[in-house]
Structure 1
Amino acid sequence: MIDRKPLNKIDFFIFFSMTIIIIFILYSHAERCAERSLYRPPQGNALNVSPITGEEINPVLQKDEAYIAIYKEDIVINELTGENQGDIIFESYDGASDKCVYEGLYYENSPYSSLGVERIDTIAINNLPTFSFEESSDKLPIYYKDSGDLIHIRYSKAISSTFRYEEGLYKYSSSLDNSNAPVVSNLIIQLVDKDYQKNKGNAIIISGGKACSGTWEKLNSTTVIRDYTGAPITLMEGKSWWMTVVEGSLILIE
């Protein structure tokens, strides 16, 4: 018969601590496995590439959501620059206030500054837009055949947005002489009906100094932008500016 001595306080503390550590390791492993089963890799991209910019980021398997920053109505557009600029900036026009309103989609990071942010929501990875990407403009598909160096969208007599293509990026025109002006690689113009009732419609995509036509369709909580073949639209790697524009508005692309 073996004579078992009772555990002293030190032995009990060590045993208890090791048990907690083992449980934590097993839980973390199970959580990572669950995230892998839920994650939908972006089509045609490596797992360490953002599905909304095409750029290399920290391993995305550790994330199952992105951030949506809803900006205040009085946001100064030049505040949406640098690290505080989302991977996608959404712009829409509010006819009641005769102003543009903005939201920012952040995937790898959260908004760097709370300046001008009204609130921050989250969005599941599976509800993110899906794109394909190229690293240079000469590799864009052949359907990019129209010029796209200067883009002007007029929402009302007083409100408009203009972008100019400079050194491979689109620069918001209100600050063309300001180094802090917002810059993006792609512009997406989603054409909608006046009452926002339709779940599909036409789109204009501008990238790499070129423009093309496409379509959009809302599927559940995701808006998909497609090319003429029905495949996800191809963009240049980098950030995008996504404008929701009512059909019939003045849109100039040169």
Structure 2
Amino acid sequence: MPSLPSLPAVPSSSVPAVVSALRAAGCVFAEDEAELLLATARTPEELAAMVDRRTAGLPLEHVLGWAEFHGLRIAVEPGVFVPRRRTEFLVDQALAQAPDARVVVDLCCGSGALAAALAGALGAVEVHAADIDPAAVRCARRNLAPYDGRAHAGDLFDALPAALRGRVGILAANVPYVPSAELAFLPAEARDHEPPAALDGGADGLDVLRRVAAGAPEWLAPGGCLLTETGEHQARAAVEAFTDAGLTTRLAVSEELHAHVVIGVRPCRRTTGV
């Protein structure tokens, strides 16, 4: 996907004032954020409005209208889940596991960042995304347009075209995995500005993950893989859910990104001669 245009029409003399306002609001990376806001705003008035939104607590990505993810600028609308940089590890694991995949599906897609990143890396692939949130589906359609991808509205596999059954090479599912009782402890940017359905994973955080794991074998091609992110303390139970679904399962961990990705592969059926 091509980079979004930068229109740095606001004078650089505005930098100190913007940094000061962001610092006062508690933004840890005030200098970096100021540079992005100044590069995006087209007029001093637009810059002032963007700074006001950011200091009021709106996620930076919602203020800018995009998030950087796996070398791409992903369009992100207000109210849509913001892709996390740690989830780039999931993309890398998918590409390593199935470098020749020709059909890619992104469940619980949010902005469609996973589907866009995979399509951008794999080249000519059939790419689909699905989410239960209409705003997310609209956003995903925008991000997948350069790859002729399709985004579908609906609940998990119910949203997908039936013709995909048994054909999916990579099934990426960045499911919600925060336990319900822990939602109140999330940073305000997520808690107040992202849809609860994109965060709340149920009592132990694994409700949606278990549903995806149980349904995946029907949709995966032989040798196709399912990948999902989970929390460190949930990893063992998540691996068990994949294994119980009949997938050959392993856990990949990035200490640097604090990322835990469960990978399940549909076994290839063996044929015996007569």
Mark yes or no: TM-score above 0.5: no
TM category (shorter chain) comes to under 0.3
Query: Which structure: greater helix fraction?
Result: 2
More strand by share: 1
TM-score, normalising length from structure 2? Answer: 0.25
TM-score (norm 1): 0.26
